[in-house]
Amino acid sequence: MDNTYFGTQTANITNLEGSVVKVAGNNLVQDSYTNPSAPQIAMTVNNLFVPIKNQILGNESDGAGGYVYSGAKPKVAVLIETETIDRKNSIFFWIP
């Protein structure tokens, strides 16, 4: 998001790693496996345009000034840039 949208305040990324599931048997842990990761992002955007927000949500214009659900969720990819603590280098997170 550039200055057109007055920038972003936060981008919280969760579920980068899958959860571990323990398989119990005979009162002991017999096995374990890891579920696939399912990254999620919660972003605070200061001024996201309504048409863009509705595209991300899978809504279409109803032609009368409103939006209705299109029936299909779109796939959205996000590239997040942040800085190191000393602000000398950028760190990028790509969530497909």
Query: Which pLDDT tens digit goes with each residue over 54-87?
Result: 998 999 989 898 899 988 889 888 888 888 999 9
C-alpha distances in Å from residue 80, one per residue of 19, 55, 89? 23, 19, 14
| Residue-level pLDDT at 43 | 86
Q: CA–CA separation, 2 vs 50, rounded Å?
A: 16
| Residue-level pLDDT at 8 | 78
Per-residue pLDDT band at 17 (split at 50, 70, 90): confident
